[in-house]
Amino acid sequence: MKIFSEELVASAVEELHIADLSHATIGEVLLVAQYLEKATGIPFIRMDQGSPGLPVNQRGVEAEKAALDRGVGSQYPAAAGVAELKHEASRFVKAFLNVDVSERSCVPTVGSVAGSFGSFIACTQRIPGKDKVLFIDPGFPIQKSQLRVIGAQWVEFDIYNHRGERLREKLEEMLSAGDIAAIVYSNPNNPAWICLEDEELKIIGELATKYDTIVMEDLAYFCMDFRRDMGHPFCAPYPPTVAHYTDNYILMLSSSKIFSYAGQRMALICISDKLFEKHYPALAERYNDAGVFGQTLVASILYMITSGCTASTQYAYAEMLRLSTEGEINFVEDTREYAVRAERMKRIFTDNGFHIVYDNDATERVGDGFFFTIGYGTMSGGDLLKELLYYGVSSISLSTTGSEQQGVRACTSRMREELYPVMEERMRAFKEDHPL
């Protein structure tokens, strides 16, 4: 039996001016869920927005307060970032990725969203005619919206059938045209939680070098492949990264998920030193500067977008990175709760006829973490999104993420202990109403 009637959901869609619920954005689904909760008082199982669901790292809060007490709020921060954060970022990357990136090449941004936005601009403008972005999907829909803003084109493919060595053939096919400026993916992946393995990252790195393409590696869920005991500074195993296989990379490291510091909008882009120092005549001509990639990105692009990052938050991030590098806090253990939630939520769905859509990595079963994907029989992702809304469960269709598979993305971050029996009851009703 449905929790919310089709008429009530239709009324919400009409009142909120949503053109097509089956292809609704994260924000639109969120609005529908809020509307229905307010109209009825019935709580939703919120699997839509990937907002942190754990307490903020208190050590960061204390460091930010101390910075404000020192008076840092009265001065503009340097565009390239405060020295303390750049220093700790370089140490952190060495400690947890075993990658050497100089302090100069570690640049704070207002969340990874600002980092990717600025990087897209620099990457697509550095070489005339090399102006498209390749998405290894499924991925983060906002990044394609950013390309719409700057008027850049993109191409994409769903990695589902191109794992392992098969990835090489697909990338060769797409990069050989010579017009791909950048490759983008997240690892672990949003929305599928698949993880690219070293063999695959080696392929990406080799081809990025061969075709002079910059790899933008989004590490928002850093060390959150909980199948491995990662997160110990200067100790293997390290998270796999393309930085071991090419000098053409930009790593994006956000504070939002690993430290639950999302509200302060703080991230880093860590640029290969060789790429940072590379000279591009097209950038020099456009921006009337030296045309050095890193300096143009920082001073002529990122500064025009945000004019620097909040100074006090930079000190907070620096302290959290320092404590992690010195082994005083373990951010991986702090976030392991997401894997516990995913395992329990997946079991409820699969016990009631659902299946995991992206269920395998190249060589092993996909792990549990912040996101997972579910399908139901032959139901399309858009139809499943709508049907789940009637049962008080919000999600997003995989079609909005560049996926060619049918299903929805589920986020674990807002799950609470008292909601598990509610979810079980609702999914049993869903199964009864939708016999396979």
Looking at 290, 325, 360, the residue that finishes a domain is: 325
Looking at 304, 325, 346, the residue that finishes a domain is: 325
> Which one-letter DSSP state was computed for residue 128?
T
Strand pairing partners for 268? 108, 253
Q: What is the pLDDT of residues 133-161, one digit of tens each?
A: 999 999 999 999 999 999 999 999 999 99
Q: Do 265 and 316 form a contact (C-beta atoms < 8 A)?
A: no
| Long-range CB contact pairs, 93-96, < 8 A, 24+ | 93/251, 93/253, 93/270, 94/234, 95/233, 95/234, 95/324, 95/325, 96/222, 96/223, 96/230, 96/231, 96/233, 96/238, 96/239, 96/324, 96/325
Kind and range of the H or E run holding 170: helix 166-175
First to last CA, the chain: 16
> What average pLDDT does range 83-109 have in this prediction?
98
Q: Which residues contact 79 (CB under 8 A, 6 or more apart)?
A: 298, 299, 302, 303, 307, 308
> What's the rounded Cα separation, in Å, for the pair 361 and 364?
5
Q: Is residue 355 predicted with pLDDT exceeding 90?
A: yes
Kind and range of the H or E run holding 195: none
Chain mean pLDDT for the chain: 96
* Single-letter code of the amino acid located at 375: G
Q: Is residue 238 part of a domain?
A: yes
Q: Is residue 23 part of a domain?
A: yes
Number of domains comprising the chain = 2
Q: Is residue 39 part of a domain?
A: yes
pLDDT at residue 130, as a whole number:
97
Q: Is residue 187 part of a domain?
A: yes
Q: What is the pLDDT of residues 314-350, one digit of tens each?
A: 999 999 999 999 999 999 999 999 999 999 999 999 9
- CATH number, domain of 84, equals 3.40.640.10
Q: Is residue 413 part of a domain?
A: yes
Whether 47 and 134 map to the same domain: the answer is no
Q: Is residue 194 part of a domain?
A: yes
Domain, as residue range, for 38: 6-54+335-433
> What average pLDDT does range 391-416 have in this prediction?
95
pLDDT at residue 20, as a whole number:
87
Q: Is residue 166 part of a domain?
A: yes
Q: Is residue 25 predicted with pLDDT exceeding 90?
A: no
Whether 284 and 375 map to the same domain: the answer is no
Whether 174 and 272 map to the same domain: the answer is yes
Residue 183 burial by CB count (10 A; 0-12/13-18/19+): exposed, middle or buried? buried
Kind and range of the H or E run holding 54: none
Q: What is the pLDDT of residues 276-320, one digit of tens each?
A: 999 999 999 999 999 999 999 999 999 999 999 999 999 999 999
- CATH number, domain of 404, equals 3.90.1150.100
Looking at 268, 302, 325, the residue that finishes a domain is: 325
Q: Is residue 23 predicted with pLDDT exceeding 90?
A: no
Q: Is residue 26 predicted with pLDDT exceeding 90?
A: no
* Single-letter code of the amino acid located at 171: L
Whether 35 and 96 map to the same domain: the answer is no
Whether 291 and 164 map to the same domain: the answer is yes
Q: Is residue 19 predicted with pLDDT exceeding 90?
A: no
Whether 173 and 306 map to the same domain: the answer is yes
* Single-letter code of the amino acid located at 216: M
pLDDT at residue 164, as a whole number:
95
Whether 260 and 284 map to the same domain: the answer is yes
> What's the rounded Cα separation, in Å, for the pair 362 and 102?
32
Kind and range of the H or E run holding 422: helix 420-433
pLDDT at residue 24, as a whole number:
86
CA 214 distance to own-chain centroid:
18
pLDDT at residue 1, as a whole number:
81
Strand pairing partners for 252? 218, 269
> What's the rounded Cα separation, in Å, for the pair 251 and 200?
17
CA 350 distance to own-chain centroid:
25
Question: What pTM, to 2 d.p., does this model score?
Answer: 0.95
Question: Between vectors from CA 255 to CA 283 and to CA 125, what angle results, nearest 5°?
Answer: 15
Kind and range of the H or E run holding 202: helix 198-210
Whether 140 and 283 map to the same domain: the answer is yes
Whether 68 and 213 map to the same domain: the answer is yes
> What's the rounded Cα separation, in Å, for the pair 314 and 63?
9
Whether 18 and 120 map to the same domain: the answer is no
pLDDT at residue 21, as a whole number:
87
Whether 105 and 179 map to the same domain: the answer is yes
DSSP secondary structure letters along 221-277: TTT--TTS----TT-SPPPP-GGGT-S-EEEEEESTTTS--GGG--EEEEE-HHHHT
pLDDT at residue 240, as a whole number:
97
pLDDT at residue 328, as a whole number:
97
Q: Is residue 330 part of a domain?
A: no
Q: What is the pLDDT of residues 173-226, one digit of tens each?
A: 999 999 999 999 999 999 999 999 999 999 999 999 999 999 999 999 999 999
Whether 316 and 377 map to the same domain: the answer is no
> What average pLDDT does range 388-412 have in this prediction?
95
pLDDT confidence band for 118 (50 / 70 / 90): very high
